[in-house]
A and B are shown apart, each in its own frame.
Chain A
Amino acid sequence: MSATAEGRRALLEIEGVWKHYQRHSVLRGIDLSVDSHEVVCLIGASGSGKSTLLRCVNLLETVDDGAIHLDGTEITDVRADPDDVRKRIGMVFQSYNLFPYMTVLDNITLAPRKAHGVGRAQAEEQARDLLARFGLAGKAAAYPDRLSGGQQQRVAIIRALATQPRLLLLDEVTSALDPALVAEVLEIIRELKDSGMTMILATHEMGLARDIADKVCFLDGGVLLEQGTAEQIFTDPREPRTREFLQRVLDARRV
């Protein structure tokens, strides 16, 4: 508590966060800090708590203990306005969650117009710029069900970017895609890293984690067991559990 405000340099600081579902603890005291322009990858088996952690950061889940600070202010404070916090954070989901009855353009401009008070003309211009930048210029008027999975996920990323968030949370964004479509989504994520976006990714794509992560965190049973540079985690993991997990992933790849 004493090291708040002036001492805090990181964009996001997660301190001792716990989350329970009924009797089961999904997160067991997670500590993690993310600097501006840093890309953090969360790896670990399904059910290790990666998605739950991201949902806690976005306040879609309320934490059961601990605190999360964004830009030096506590967002898990019960008096904080969650809508206000979410305006500063973008989130992309595994199953895209595009709004099915809206065109691509409307999907992207909804939040800027309604939550941020941007005028329609300006919001649409920004949206078209983003679509062009990510190779979807021709899809503005299309409905989500006319797009491939990869295209839908790219639109979902653009939708999250349209509000110019300080932080982007990506929750297994390639897990629902077939291998041929994964590449086009990964390309966007790489481009975002190059442009300096701060991101936390929960991912099963070890190649991606290795490629773009400044920091890789291994979660196991709700505990952040090990964190380090991609180089260190993938070539010289300290924890036996990490080594075991990576070995399993490697074996699965081979089959």
Chain B
Amino acid sequence: MSGQAPEAPAPQDPAPADQGATRVRGGLEPPRGSGGEWVKSDRQRERERLRRRTDLRSGSIATVSTVVFIVLLIWLVTASPGWPRVKETFFDLGQFTGALPDVLRGFLLNIKIFLIAEPLILIVGLLVALARNLHAPVFFPLRSLAVLYTDVFRGVPTILVIYLVGFGLPALQLQGMPTDLATLGIIALTLSYGAYVAEVFRSGIDSVHPSQRAAARSLGLTHGQAMRFVVLPQAVRRVVPPLLNDFVSLQKDTALVATIGPLEALRQAQIHTADTFNYTPYLAAGLLFILLTIPMARFTDHLAARSQRRRGV
């Protein structure tokens, strides 16, 4: 544009204001594009001061509004007419401490089920996903079986699978069939979640760009080698966040195993509640599940943020 006249004085404009900075920038050394030492200019100092002030102000506004909100909420809840009954039914401290040891003991079984089921699910899911990627004609039956498995077990409600396995399998009275309820629960959860996790793995495998496979195959690697050394390592890294999400869901679904009878957390809470008609034990169980899933959820967030950062680099 034709703004030579107004532009000309512009560089001198800050000069009177930042006598401090002109020590370096003016005088003998002209401003250099690179190489020279950076001395923070007065403009940048002022900018940062303003930024700090804005941050401080937003911080205090957030604090005040949060405090006001919480006070209002507590007042609203406790002042409502039904509150004493709610408090008695759900927040009974005596009931809570009375039921907690049993519920906690039951909860250890939930953790055990979860810890055993998780690696099994990973193995089943990965094998099924890999089977779906086999294109050699010999493997046609295997591939079809994998498709059938995911279709069936993704479609059937988890609780139904637990009923079928938990009550159905022992009824067959086959030799070597496990009768332990927790084991049956683990089998059922593995069948149900394996189908979901297989799909997660498969989407991860499909998301690796075909050029990576082309590069691997062009080097003479076989399909299996390309899969194992090139595609899977990338696929698995990508699906870690969705996998962890499925595991958060698995952690709470271990409670579904209660329906076939093992004394896990929900079952223990049920027993206590049945005695007293007070629902605080359920709350205790719920609290334990939340305490278990929150770290997992935060860990998932952390991993997602990390991969985001990496991609940004």
Contacts and interface: CB of A to CB of B under 8 A. Distances in A.
Given A95-B211, A101-B233, A160-B219, A115 B313 contact: no
B229 interface: yes
Contacts of B313: 145
A86 B217 CA distance: 7
A189 interface: no
B212 A58 contact: no
Given A60-B217, A100-B234, A110-B229, A83 B222 contact: yes
A201 B224 CA distance: 29
Interface in A61-90: 82-84, 86-87, 89-90
Contact of B221 (A58, A83, A95, A160): A83
Contacts of B219: 86, 90, 110-111, 115, 159-160, 163
A254 interface: no
Given A111-B221, A159-B219, A160-B219, A97 B229 contact: no
Contacts, number: 61
Contact of B218 (A60, A100, A101, A114): A60
B interface: dominant SS: helix
Interface in B202-258: 211-212, 214-222, 225, 229-230, 233-234, 237
A111 B221 CA distance: 7
Contacts of B214: 60, 93, 97
Contacts of A87: 220
Interface string A99-112: 11100000000110
Contacts of B212: 97, 99
Interface residues of A, number: 26
A116 interface: yes
A87 B219 CA distance: 6
A115 B225 CA distance: 8
A116 B220 contact: yes
Contacts of A100: 234
Contacts of B237: 101
Contacts of A82: 217
Nearest to B218: A91
B225 A114 contact: yes
Nearest to A95: B211
Nearest to A60: B214
Contact of A163 (B211, B220, B222, B229): B220
Q: Please list the 7 inter-chain residue pairs (A to B) with the smallest Cβ-Cβ separation, ordered nearest first.
A: A87-B220, A97-B215, A111-B219, A115-B220, A91-B218, A86-B220, A97-B211
Interface of A: 58, 60, 82-84, 86-87, 89-91, 93, 95, 97-101, 110-111, 114-116, 145, 159-160, 163
Given A99-B215, A111-B220, 19 more contacts: A60-B214, A60-B217, A60-B218, A83-B222, A84-B220, A87-B220, A90-B219, A93-B214, A97-B211, A99-B212, A99-B234, A101-B234, A110-B219, A110-B229, A114-B225, A115-B225, A160-B218, A160-B219, A163-B219
Interface of B: 211-212, 214-222, 225, 229-230, 233-234, 237, 313
